[in-house]
Every structure is written in structure tokens, then in C-alpha cells.
Amino acid sequence: MSKKEKTIRIAHIVGKWVGGGVESNLMNYFRNIDRNQVQFDFICDSDSIDIPKEEIESLGGKVIIIPPYQKVFKYHKELKKVLKNGNYKIVHSHINTLSMFSLFAAKCAKIPVRIAHSHSTTNKLEWKKNILKQIFKLFSKMFATHYMACTEYAGKWMFGEKEYKKNNIYVLNNAIELDKFKYNEKVRTKVRKELSIKEDTLVIGHIGRFMEVKNHEFLLDTFDEIHKKNNNSILLLAGQGPLLEKIKKKVNDLNLNDSVIFLGQRKDIEQIYQAFDVFVLPSLYEGLGMVLIEAQCSGLPTIASTEVPTIAKVSNNFKFVELNKTKQEWAEVILESVKNYKRHDCIKECQQCGYDIKLESPKLIEYYKNVVGD
């Protein structure tokens, strides 16, 4: 049997590719996995943006575009056809509770291994979205043969406590290339110069898609308080998303146009961390929050809401703050975190907690081999 024939080719159902944490995590594994043993194909909805098609193809993968899941019948028909023609042994679905749609098509295509992957959870503040999530969650296991999650918490939320106790949920750490995020004074100076930021300016950093879950409005209110106490401060926001214009309007309403910089979607995000002085993520909920691992790895004081899983804390530079605390209280915690702080990277801590992609990617290969009985 040739090497090509022995390679396990896996269909990853991504849904709408928007350059978020799920896609970032998937690409981290794809870049670092032994592609002689395992190869990835990415099945994305037609309304996706910023798919790194050239890179994927250069690494031997394929990008396959299908109708979005909202067009239920077209989606099912096309996905079933793609999966049949691809002769896949494994379908790995990353669209959380919506995986019932993709894995039903996979079952109809007679794919033997169908993995449902939980990347997220929920929050009581998003009650309308929660109703749908709770309904779809009831069917999350129906067409799956295997369960995976980014954390124990995300796994229990989607598949249940019993499945976790029976060791039926494989927790795949959202690992990163740690060396890329190592603190570098020269890079910090370069990036700040490019962004016209003075060395003594306090930089509050945030990386996240402009969606309700990331809680940008509260972040802006908090920064407004910080700026009142220290007018030599700026907020850097990296990302894109449907609420971007709404957030820009709020910046204008708060008269913070000169103190908030929108960086857009960046491909050099590991360098952007270097320019920050503190990283803040007041999310309504997170499956993990991979940006928190990246921020800590680069040596940043990191502040997150208590709706983020506790496993996201890998260093002593991390603080949780409740969302019911006031913007003034959040501002105080953030300002306190940077007082007399001497920056240093936390690579060892991240490695010990299972976030080193070089150590984690071989484990994923073994998992895939085991589930197909190789």
C-alpha cells in the first residue's frame, strides 16, 4: 500500500469561515500535524470570508464550498454528494449544536466515523439564541459516533455529564505554536512604531470577532473609564464581524476616536500581542478563548470574565472578573494589573497545561487512527 493510500483523509465541516478562533485552532493543527499520516479537507459554506485557500492547498488540503446550512435541503444534498465522492472515513464537524445537520448528511453518505466537536457553550444573557441552542443540543449526539470538545466544560455542556464520566468525550486542547508568541522587545518596538504608539502609552488590547458574545460595548465603556483616569491610553481592537459599524459608532459617541484603533483582521496577530500592555476579554461565554492562551504565552497581564472556563488560566498574570461588576471596577482591576509589572513570556506554563501544538498534534493523529481502527 502506498503512502498516499495509507494517509487518513478527513473532512472537516467548518461552516461559515470567518477567521475566528475555531478556524485558527484548526489551522494550527493542520500546519503542525504529520500530513503523511493525516490530511485535512475543509468544507465551508459559500458565505465564508478570508479562507486561506492557497495555504491549505499548498499543504495538500482541499477547500470545498457548499451552500450555507440555512438552505437546509441544498446543504444536505451537496454535502452528502461531497462526502460520498471524497471517500472519507472520518467527518469532523466544528459547528457546535448545528452539527446535527452536517452529521446527518455524513450518516446518509455512510461515513463510518462522525465526530461532533463542541467549541462553545452559552450564556443566560443571550436567551433567544439559547432557546435554539438548547433545542439543537438535544440532537447533538443523534448522528455522531464520537464526541470531542475544546474543554471539559464545553464537552459536558453539549454532550452531558454522563458521557464525560464514561470517558466518551475526547478533549482536544486548543494548542498553539508557543514560540511564535514569545515576548520580543524588538517586535514590540517595531509594531508600536508602525501604529504610531509612544512607548509610555498604556495599550489595552482585545482580539475577537465583532459579535454580541465578545461584549465589545462593555469593553468600550470600561476603556472610557480607564481613559478618564489615564488619557495617555489607547484601545487596540483586532477582528471583524457584523457589529463592527455599531461599535465604531459607539466609539464616536464616547468621543474616543483618537484613542481607539481598529486593526481589522490581521495575519500577524502574534506580533500584535507584543504591542499590548494588557489583554482584556469580557466575553458573555467562551468554549475556552484561545486568545487568552496566546496573550498569556506572550507575557501579558490578562483579564477575562468569569464566564470563561477556569482552565483558560495558565499563569499568575490572569484575573477573572464577574460581568455584574461595574465598568469602574473592571477599569480598576485592569489598571492594577499593569502596575509595576515586568513582562516575561509564559511558554513553560502553557506547555505544562497542554497548549504546545508540537506535543498535542501527535495525540490527535493517534486519536484519528484509533477511531478508524488503523
What confidence tens digit (pLDDT) does each residue in 78-134 have? 999 999 999 999 999 999 888 889 999 999 999 999 999 998 765 555 545 555 556
Average pLDDT rounded to a whole number, residues 181-188: 95
C-alpha span between 174 and 275 (Å, rounded): 23
Q: Does residue 208 sit in helix, strand or coil?
A: coil
C-alpha span between 333 and 254 (Å, rounded): 21
| Cβ neighbour number for residue 193 with a 10 Å cutoff | 12
Strands (E) located in the chain: 8-15, 38-45, 62-66, 90-93, 113-118, 146-149, 169-171, 202-207, 233-238, 260-264, 278-281, 302-305, 318-321
pTM over 0.95: no
The set of cell numbers assigned to 14 is 467548518
Question: What pLDDT digit, counting tens, does each position of 203-216 carry?
Answer: 999 999 999 999 99
Question: Residue 6: pLDDT band by 50, 70, 90 thresholds?
Answer: confident
Asked if residue 3 has pLDDT above 50, the reply is: no
Q: Distances from the Cα of 49 to the Cαs of 19, 82, 233, in angstroms?
A: 8, 21, 32
| Cβ neighbour number for residue 118 with a 10 Å cutoff | 26
Burial of 52 (0-12, 13-18, 19+ CB in 10 A): middle
pLDDT, position 122: 56
Question: What pLDDT digit, counting tens, does each position of 259-287 carry?
Answer: 999 999 898 999 999 999 999 999 998 87
Closest-CA residue to 202 (of 185, 184, 223, 219):
223
Question: What pLDDT digit, counting tens, does each position of 100-109 carry?
Answer: 899 999 999 9
